[in-house]
Structure 1
Amino acid sequence: MGLAGIPKPPRLVRRVLPVVWPVGAAALTGLATPVIVAGAFASFVDKKARLFRVSVLGVGLMWVDVRMLMDCWRLQLGNPERTAPAWEDDHEEVFLAGLNRAMILARRWVGFEVRLDGRMHFGNEGAPLVAFARHAGPGDSIALAWLLGHTAGRMPKIVLAEALRWDPMVDTLLTQMRSYFVPSRTGAGDDRVAGVRSLARGLKDDDVLLLFPEGQNFSPDRRRRLIDRMREAGQELRARRAISLFNTLPPKTKGVVAVLDERPDADVMIVGHAGFGRLSTPREVWDAIPFTDRPFLVRTHTYAAGDVPDDAPEIEAWLDERWTEIDEWVTAYEQ
């Protein structure tokens, strides 16, 4: 079913979750302590110390999440009316600090390290930026949001599944940052593009809208199922295009067209990454830990607003060409 099929928590549950989550995190930490100890002893057998690394990282990330939630409470207590001029900026600082803590933990405990293949160009100063990124491998959303926030100096505005509201920190913090939660497929009558348009419309000059046109993480099984569905629907041209992509899924263009139609003044960054895309199952991720010899390599190319098509069919063809380039680059890197 995936995240897209999971509905958001009911209103009452959303009110209760932030209160019980810190207590639940403390209980989970207690339950995880024997696992951490067992992992430490198991490292005498498993020289990669995977159980120890993963259990410590899991507890660490959980408390990063709790701290971000508590920082949101602190901001709300300091400004109950939520009218301070810096209200959104303060939440953005909490978001960036939390991302940084998470990336430090990931690098320390499992060797997850982001590297750049070439220079990044962040668009023209004074112009908004949208980033269309490949979606594959564990942690790519967090890594790319961190990279754009800390390296590009632009605040990521994110489109994410509404199911993630079950995390009270995500629900509390990212709502205050004007992120867009895509309604689940179970939601009747929801315009799944209207929110993307609204997010694009509200972009400031120092923002970047981060969108994953594939809609879901790449995996060989998803690629095969997608090709089969295209053929069953008589979409032979799209199926042939999907067959030519070995490391990516064909990009969905509805959201991309909506964003570019709403913000024709935005520069466009195409983001590819390599190194983790073939880790599509828990077993593959487990076997690859630690990632000390497997950097998360990022390659970007930024196009000025005037160089991007503004007609829907031309945008679709242009995006397909960019995804073919990403696929070829990933193939060359991972051979």
Structure 2
Amino acid sequence: MGLAGIPKPPRFARRVLPVVWPVGAAAVTGLATPVIVAGAFHAFVDKRARLFRVSCLGVGLVWVDVRMLLDCWRLRLKDRDGTGPTWEDDHEQVFLAGLNRAMILGKRWVGFEVRLDDRMHFGNEGAPLVAFARHAGPGDSIALAWLLGHTAGRMPKIVLAEALRWDPMVDTLLTQMRSYFVPSRTGAGDDRVEGVRELARGLKHDDVLLLFPEGQNFSPDRRRRLISRLREAGQELRARRAVSLWNTLPPKTKGVVAVLDERPDADVMIVGHAGFGHLSTPREIWDAIPFTDRPFLVRTHTYAAGDVPDDAPAIAEWLDERWTEIDDWVTAYEGSGTA
């Protein structure tokens, strides 16, 4: 079913979860302590110390999450009405600091490290930026949001699944940052694109809207299922398009067209990454830990607003070409023996 099929928590749960989550985090830490101890002893057998690494990382990320939630409470006590001039900026700083802590933990415990294939170009300083990114492998959304926030110096505005509201920190913090939570498929009648339009409409010159046009994390199984569904539906042209891509899913254009239609003044960054895309099952991820010889390699290309098509059919064709380039680059990188 995936995240898209999970409905958001009911209003009562959204009120209760922020209160009980710090207590729950303490309980998780207590339960994880014997696992960490067992992992330390198991490291004599498993020289890669995977159980120890993963359990320490998990507990660390739980407390990064809790700290971000507590920072949101602190800001609420400071400005009870949420109308102060620095309200949104303060929450953005909490977000960036939390991303930085998470990335530090990822590098320390499992060797997760972001590297650039080439220099990044961030568009014109006076113009907003939209980033259309490949979606594949563990941690890619966090890594890309961190990269754009800390390297590009632009505040990520994120489109994410409504199911993630079950994390009270995500619900509290990203709501204050005007992120868009895409309604689940169970929510009949919701206009899923209008929220993307609204988010694009509100972009400031130092923002970047991060969107994953594939709509879901790539995996070989998802690729095969998508091809089968397209063929069963008689969409042979799209099925052939999906067959031609080995490392990505064909991008969906509805949200992309909505963003570009709403903000024709925005520069466009196409974001590809390699190294983790084929780690799509828990077993594959486990076997690859630690990632010390497997960097999360990012390649970007930025197009000026005037160089991007402005009508839907041309945008779809242009985006397909960009995704073919990403797919070819990933194939060349992972087939070179470098990965």
Normalised TM-score (structure 1): 1.00
Alignment of 1:1-335 (within 5 A): 1-335=1-335
**Distance in 2 of aligned mates of 1:315 and 1:110:** 39
* SS in structure 2 of the partner of residue 193 of structure 1: helix
One-letter amino acid of the counterpart of residue 275, structure 1: G
**Distance in 1 of aligned mates of 2:82 and 2:198:** 21
Q: After the TM superposition, which parts of structure 1 deviate over 2 Å for at least 4 consecutive aligned residues?
A: none
Q: 1:204-223: CA deviations, max 9, x gaps? A: 00000000000000000000
Quote how far apart the aligned CAs of 1:230 are.
0.6
**Distance in 2 of aligned mates of 1:250 and 1:13:** 36
**Distance in 2 of aligned mates of 1:185 and 1:278:** 26
Q: 1:95-122: CA deviations, max 9, x gaps? A: 0000000000000000000000000000
Q: 1:41-84: CA deviations, max 9, x gaps? A: 00000000000000000000000000000000000000001111
Quote how far apart the aligned CAs of 1:31 are.
0.3
Identity of aligned residues (%): 90
* SS in structure 1 of the partner of residue 132 of structure 2: strand
Structure 2, unmatched stretches of 5+, are none
* SS in structure 1 of the partner of residue 298 of structure 2: strand
* SS in structure 2 of the partner of residue 125 of structure 1: coil
One-letter amino acid of the counterpart of residue 133, structure 1: A
> How large is the Cα RMSD of the aligned pairs?
0.3
**Distance in 1 of aligned mates of 2:180 and 2:146:** 18
One-letter amino acid of the counterpart of residue 208, structure 1: V
Quote how far apart the aligned CAs of 1:291 are.
0.1
* SS in structure 2 of the partner of residue 194 of structure 1: helix
* SS in structure 1 of the partner of residue 120 of structure 2: coil
Structure 1, unmatched stretches of 5+, are none
**Matched length:** 335
Q: 1:282-301: CA deviations, max 9, x gaps? A: 00000000000000000000
**Distance in 1 of aligned mates of 2:113 and 2:203:** 29
**Distance in 2 of aligned mates of 1:310 and 1:131:** 16
* SS in structure 2 of the partner of residue 270 of structure 1: strand
* SS in structure 2 of the partner of residue 317 of structure 1: helix
Normalised TM-score (structure 2): 0.99
One-letter amino acid of the counterpart of residue 251, structure 1: P
Quote how far apart the aligned CAs of 1:156 are.
0.1
One-letter amino acid of the counterpart of residue 27, structure 2: A
* SS in structure 1 of the partner of residue 192 of structure 2: coil
**Distance in 2 of aligned mates of 1:162 and 1:118:** 34
Quote how far apart the aligned CAs of 1:188 are.
1.1
**Distance in 1 of aligned mates of 2:278 and 2:80:** 46
Quote how far apart the aligned CAs of 1:271 are.
0.0
**Distance in 2 of aligned mates of 1:26 and 1:125:** 44
**Distance in 2 of aligned mates of 1:317 and 1:84:** 44
Q: Which is further off, 228-237 or 35-44?
A: 228-237
